Amino acid sequence: MSLATSDTTEAAPGAPANLGVEPVSGALGAVIRGVDLANLDDDAFAAIYAAFLKYGVIFLEDQQLSPDQYVAFARRFGPLADYPFAKGMDGRPEIVEIVKEPHQTSNFGGMWHTDTTYQPNPPKATMLYAVQTPTTGGDTLFADMRLAYRKLSTGMQVLLAGLKAVNSSSLNASALRGDHLKGGAMGAKADAKPVLEAEHPVVRTHPETGAKALYVNPSHTVRFVGFTREESLPLLEFLYAHSIKPEFTCRFRWRPGSLAIWDNRSTQHCAINDYDGHRRVMRRVTIGGAAEL
């Protein structure tokens, strides 16, 4: 088994009898068992979607998905969106291949972040499908920003309630994308804007569940609106450290055929860079978000 699991597998109400939901930590994350995403009926999808909302990130293993099948499954979550800086696959521009070659020492997404919060309408969700993985290493960490919010003091929750933050694609861009869009196997979009910026509430209310979550991250959040960066950093750095406490996280070990789907409205994640000398190929699809912040 590729990650730590609980002792019980939950039945999925209304879903096929062999479909199970197995939580992977006390905070967030669950493995979905007994489903073939290439042949998925409506009841099984409803159970998968319910688990996605409940656990923040879900994992499915041993899937065999062609690019067409992958995109068809992703569309069930909502309209797809482009990643603003990288070109898509030939023939399937909805899919961005994230590649680390053996000679590269940096990785793509190797810092804690919530995807593209520098956009006015950040993604609803992101999917990542493993094509080629190292024998060991290359895991991904996820953090539950709902739980991080709930564990703040009442006073801190009141303070944050009225704040907005500026998010920018220029902050930590080198660490996040490194040389992968310059000289690696991934290609940069020729028409990409040099910098994208957007303002969002520091505490976000989930449009489907109503849960509140912290909505700042060290990779994109620059400062609070109306404050300088120097004034903002002490509080931001506290929130960054608080939100990735071990008890708020889970960890996933990839292997070919693994698929992760995370709720970009309630989680953040970090790709661990511990597999220099090995090739890793992942396929990413982004589900578009609405202006409900």
Q: Is 115 an annotated catalytic residue?
A: yes
Catalytic entry in 180, 223, 269, 283: 269
Q: How far apart are CA 235 and CA 285, in angstroms?
A: 33
Catalytic entry in 113, 200, 220, 223: 113
Q: How far apart are CA 289 and CA 291, in angstroms?
A: 7
Is residue 43 a contact partner of residue 19, using CB atoms and an 8 Å limit? no
Please report which residue ranges of 162-258 form alpha helices under DSSP H.
173-177, 229-243
Q: How far apart are CA 179 and CA 185, in angstroms?
A: 10
Q: Is 220 an annotated catalytic residue?
A: no
Catalytic entry in 146, 200, 220, 284: 284
Q: Is 269 an annotated catalytic residue?
A: yes
Q: How far apart are CA 61 and CA 1, in angstroms?
A: 10
290 in helix, strand or coil? coil
Tell how far CA 120 is from the center of its chain: 17
Pairing of strands 20-23, 30-33: antiparallel
The type of residue at 151 is K
Catalytic residues: 113, 115, 269, 284
